[in-house]
């Protein structure tokens, strides 16, 4: 039997829709909303936590979500910076990791829709 693949584009698109429908609460007191570019296309997530906020770039999400769902990213330290850096892992890696956990949760509730 052939192993099914995940339609990552559809998965991310549907997750963005869910976040847009409500000011989503990710975990504990962390909230998330979407940021659009001038053409109203999804550009990033904005994550709010207490007094700080972070922008989670679509490029990093697209690059690492597949790795995360295929168990190649098992810790926030596995999320690397986009450009060369002296940092061992991405500055916002903790936020990306928890976002990936939420997307994985969403995927697991609707698995058949995203497998082909």
In a domain, residue 99? The reply is yes
In sign, the C-alpha dihedral spanning 96, 97, 99, 100 is positive
Among 53-62, 79-88, 94-103, where is mean pLDDT lowest? 79-88
What is the model's pLDDT at position 38? Answer: 72
pLDDT confidence tier of residue 27, bands split at 50, 70 and 90:
low
What is the chain's Cα-based Rg? 14
Range of the domain at 49: 8-107
- Nearest-CA neighbor of 68 among 114, 24, 99, 41? 99
pLDDT band, very low/low/confident/very high, at 6 (cuts 50, 70, 90): very high
The answer to the question of residue 1 being in a domain is no
Model-level pTM? Answer: 0.79
Rounded to the nearest integer, the mean pLDDT of the chain is 81
CA distances from residue 115 to 24, 92, 100, 106 in whole angstroms, order as listed: 25, 29, 17, 13
Domain total for the chain?
1
Structural domain includes residue 116: no
Q: What pLDDT digit, counting tens, does each position of 46-73 carry?
A: 777 766 787 888 888 888 999 999 999 9
Residue at 115 is within a domain: no
Residue 2, domain member (yes or no): no
**Using 50, 70 and 90 to split pLDDT, how confident is the model at 29?**
low
Contact by Cβ (8 Å): 62, 8: yes
Query: How does residue 17 score in pLDDT terms, banded at 50, 70 and 90?
Result: confident
């Amino acid at each position: 039997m052939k192993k099914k693949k995940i339609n990552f584009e559809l998965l991310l698109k549907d997750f963005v829709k869910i976040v847009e429908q409500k000011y989503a609460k990710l975990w504990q007191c962390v909230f998330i909303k979407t940021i659009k570019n001038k053409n109203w296309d999804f550009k990033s997530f904005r994550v709010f936590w207490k007094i700080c906020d972070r922008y989670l770039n679509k490029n990093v999400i697209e690059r690492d979500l597949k790795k995360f769902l295929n168990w190649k990213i098992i810790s926030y330290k596995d999320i690397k910076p986009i450009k060369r850096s002296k940092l061992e892992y991405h500055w916002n890696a903790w936020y990306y990791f928890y976002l990936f956990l939420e997307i994985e949760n969403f995927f697991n509730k609707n698995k058949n829709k995203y497998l082909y």
